[in-house]
Chain A
Amino acid sequence: MTPLLTADNLLLCAGPRTLCSGLSLRVEQGQRWGLLGKNGAGKTSLLHTLAGLRTPREGTVLLDGTPLAALSPAQIAEVVGLLLQESVDALPSTVLETALLGRHPHTKNRLFDNAEDLAIAHEALRKLGIESLAQRAVNSLSGGERQRLALAMLLAQRPRLLLLDEPSNHLDLGFQTPLIHLLLSQARGNPEETIISSDSVSQGAAVIMATHDINLAARVCDNIVLMIGDGETLVGKAVDVLTEENLAKAYDCPIARVENEGRTLFYPL
């Protein structure tokens, strides 16, 4: 079967620096990938490249077997959703209006909203626990509420590939676990989802998340891309990549690992 996303021999540069070179990935439906590396290692640039917002210096990205370059932005947006680190609200709208923007790639009517899109947007707000804020102006929200709204917009988009840039930013520790379960339920293919969406996406979405939180990635990701710097990357199963030596090399500091109640935790020494 064609993988959902294939990256083939990517070379990404930022000015004179090489962010990654010769990077190849095969992301299948239902997989959960973690993207780790120091600040400035190129996590965001890689995510943007996979979303088609940035052209790699070398190499290609294939979505369902088709090169991104051969697809229109609208075609990509029907499949790929991207959570950005920052949002702009110079001309603010309400929370509900913003969540509805997530339906943009799927909406054919240029003027009127249909009931299904509204239901999907409300559902996304409910899942993120911000339905009571629906009529509030976006610029009156706190940082954490904005992050939940950005996630609600992403869920409303119903992508088959979720690219998340620091999804746990601004979120309370107590909400991080439910959030992760929510995102994983996207990856597993939630039966609730298939009732509303008529297309045959029952296999579940794939998730690729960039995060600075090694423990979050260790807990929820089955595959890891570790960006070490100078273009070197380690790609593989989480258990193989997340070792003390690899992490120490990537983060330039000694890192120790402990097992507790069936979980693996890493902490800097």
Chain B
Amino acid sequence: MSQFQPFRLLLIALLAAFASVLVSLLSGSVELSFDDLIAYTVGDIPALQRQVLEDIRLPRTLAAFVTGAALALAGVLMQVLLRNPLADPYILGLSGGAAVGALASIMLGLGGWWLSGTAFVGALVSVGVVFGIASRSGRWSTTHLLLTGVVVSAGWGALINLMLSTSASASVQGMLFWLMGDLSQSRVGLMQIGILITGSALALRAARSLNVLVRGDLVAASLGVHVNGLRLSLFFGASLLTVIAVTTAGSVGFVGLVVPHMLRLTGARDHRLLIPFSLLAGGTFLVVADTLARTLLAPQQLPVGVITALIGVPSFIAILRSAPSR
């Protein structure tokens, strides 16, 4: 790869991100034109348009971008931690724990902050359980960690099914939307943005070490990487990023698994490139998916998780087929 190409790719990703945000801001039931956006920046915009932009579209677009970026980065980190291309942010059972928390809130008829609060607690419980089991046995091997995560996920899955099957039918639709991922009520604040930026900066700082860690713990240790410390940071960093994503939008599937892989297949295997690339592409992907989710069958809103899979599957297959099988 020449020295120039990475920067060109990043520039393209940056432009795509910008375009997706623009399209998202301009799409919806209330007509908003590009001129309105320009007018908004100089503070000269009709009250209705201002309200739609400030209260609805901007926060929702921002939430979509932050969630998508956090999931894609968490996916990259989990794949390195577990050294497994099939790993995604939810593989260690975190989304299951969050789901049980969120569903409990919905069951009890609690909404708003309760929903993200209980999801947060559920996710933390799940992280704690997996970490407790994995570190207590003293074996941080990838297989052991993966098995622990899969088993814990299965446990949460049983609880989720129990809650779904015993809930009143009126609340089941809300539960399903949460499980599939939905951005209609989503807002992010300074905390989520701060975590994402800090996490990205730390991940980028460690990018070279991640390149080495992918080759195996022993290789990494013999090349001077502090393997245990790095793997612990990966575990908690990826978990925290996933927590901010699921507490914002529920368990949106597919972004964390597919975005990193699409980028790897197009040549961004080096984590110094893959990390910024994933952030931009993950954010863009979810903004586009959410725009479609709220406009395709308007005024009916679709869960964004359905759209991510519907666009994600065919495009992934296309890239898989066109990737050179060197």
A interface residue numbers (CB < 8 A to B)? 48, 51, 53, 72-78, 80-82, 84, 86-94, 97-98, 101-102, 104-105, 107, 110-111, 135-137, 140, 157
Given contacts A93-B269, A104-B208, contact A53 B224 (CB under 8 A): no
Collect the chain A residues with CB atoms within 8 Å of residue B208's CB: 104, 107, 110
Q: Which of A53, A88, A97 contacts B222 (CB 8 A)?
A: A53
Knowing A91-B79, A91-B264, A91-B269 are in contact, say whether A101-B224 is a contact too (CB < 8 A): no
How far apart are the CA atoms of A121 and B211 in the complex, in Å?
16
Q: Which residue of B lies closest to A89 (CB)?
A: B215
CB pair A84–B222 under 8 Å, yes or no, is: yes
Q: Which residues of B come within 8 Å of A, CB atoms? A: 79-80, 83-85, 204-205, 207-209, 211-212, 214-216, 218-219, 221-227, 264, 269-270, 272, 326
Contact for A97 among B218, B224, B226, B269, CB less than 8 A: B269
List chain B residues, Cβ under 8 A from A104: 208-209, 211-212, 223-225
Bound: A43/B216 CA distance, A: 20
CA distance A51 to B224 in the complex (A): 10
B83 engages A91 (CB within 8 Å): yes
- Chain B residues whose C-beta falls within 8 Å of the C-beta of A77 in the assembled complex: 222-224
Q: Which residues from chain B contact A110 at a C-beta distance below 8 Å?
A: 204-205, 207-208
Q: A77-B222, A87-B216, A105-B223 are in contact. Are A97 and B207 (CB under 8 A)?
A: no
12 sampled A-B residue pairs with Cβ under 8 A: A53-B218, A75-B224, A77-B223, A84-B219, A88-B216, A90-B83, A91-B80, A91-B83, A97-B269, A101-B212, A105-B224, A110-B207
Q: Do the beta carbons of B85 and A90 come within 8 Å of each other?
A: yes
Given A93-B270, A101-B215, 18 more contacts at CB 8 Å?
A53-B222, A73-B224, A73-B225, A76-B224, A77-B222, A77-B224, A82-B222, A87-B215, A87-B219, A88-B83, A89-B215, A91-B83, A91-B269, A97-B270, A101-B223, A110-B204, A136-B326, A137-B326
What 9 A-B pairs come out closest when comparing CB atoms?
Answer: A77-B224, A74-B224, A88-B216, A82-B222, A105-B224, A93-B269, A104-B223, A73-B224, A137-B326
> What is the predominant secondary structure among interface residues of chain B facing chain A?
helix
> Min CB distance, A115 to chain B, in Å?
10
Given contacts A107-B208, A111-B272, whether A90 and B214 have CB atoms under 8 Å apart is yes
Task: Give the complex CA separation of A102 and B212 in angstroms.
Answer: 9
- B326–A111 touching, CB < 8 Å: no
User: Known contacts A73-B224, A104-B224, A140-B326; is A88 also within 8 Å of B269 by CB?
Assistant: no
With both beta carbons as reference points, the residue of chain B lying nearest to A85 in the complex is identified as B218
B272 CB to nearest chain A CB (Å): 6
B207 in contact with A88 (CB, 8 Å): no
Is A92 in contact with B221, judged by CB distance below 8 angstroms?
A: no
Least CB separation from A101: chain B residue: B212
In the complex, what distance in Å separates the CA atom of A48 from the CA atom of B218? 9
Q: CA separation between A53 and B216, bound complex, in Å?
A: 13
Instruction: Check A102–B223 contact: CB distance below 8 A.
Output: yes
